[in-house]
Amino acid sequence: MTPTDIRLHKKTALLELSYADGSSHTLPAEFLRVHSPSAEVRGHGQGQEVLQVGKINVKIDRIEPVGHYAIRLHFDDGHDTGIYSWEYLHELALHQQTMWNEYLARLKAADARREPLAAGVQIVNIMPLKH
C-alpha cells in the first residue's frame, strides 16, 4: 500500500502514514531506526543481524523520496542507509507491537539497553575470582 500522506512530527519523533482507505499509522523514530532495512542493521544474510542499542532518543532529521516506491530516513545519529519501501513501511505498521516486543526481548537477552551509555562509560563484565 502506498501512503497518500507522510508526516514527520519532529517534537514527538513520530512518522505518520495515511492511506487512501482512511487508515493511518504512527511509527516512532526509535522503532524505525532499530528496524532499518539497511545492511548495517539486517546484515547480509540470515543470522547476521546487528542488534541496535541506545536508540531511545534518536530522531528523524529528514525524509528523502526514493523513486515512487520508498523513502530514505535520515536519523540524527548519522544513520541514513535504510530505504523503507511502501511495502516494508506497511508491514512495520501492521506488526509494530509484535516486532517491538521481539526487539525488547532481544535487548533483554543481550543484557543491552535502549538508553545510550553516558560519555566515557564502559560496560565491563566482571566475573568473580575463584580461589
Q: What is the pLDDT of residue 129?
A: 44
pLDDT at residue 19 is higher than 60: yes
Query: Among all chains, which residue has been given the C-alpha cell 509494530?
Result: 96
In this prediction, residues 24-39 reach a mean pLDDT of 97
Residue 126's pLDDT band, with cuts at 50, 70 and 90, is very low
In this prediction, residues 21-30 reach a mean pLDDT of 97
Q: What digits encode the pLDDT tens for the residues 41-54?
A: 988 878 788 999 99
Q: Structure pTM?
A: 0.87
DSSP symbol at 119: T
Query: Which residues does 61 contact at the CB level (< 8 Å), separation at least 6?
Result: 74, 75, 76
pLDDT at residue 116 is higher than 70: yes
pLDDT at residue 89 is higher than 70: yes
Listed by start position, the domains of the chain span 5-109
29/14 Cα distance (integer angstroms) = 6
Q: What is the pLDDT of residue 125?
A: 46
Query: Among all chains, which residue has been given the C-alpha cell 568473580?
Result: 128
CATH code for the domain defined by 5-109: 3.30.2020.30
Q: What is the dihedral of CA 68, 97, 50, 108, to 10 degrees?
A: 170
pLDDT at residue 35 is higher than 80: yes
Query: Which residues does 31 contact at the CB level (< 8 Å), separation at least 6?
Result: 92, 96, 99, 100, 103
Q: What is the pLDDT of residue 119?
A: 56
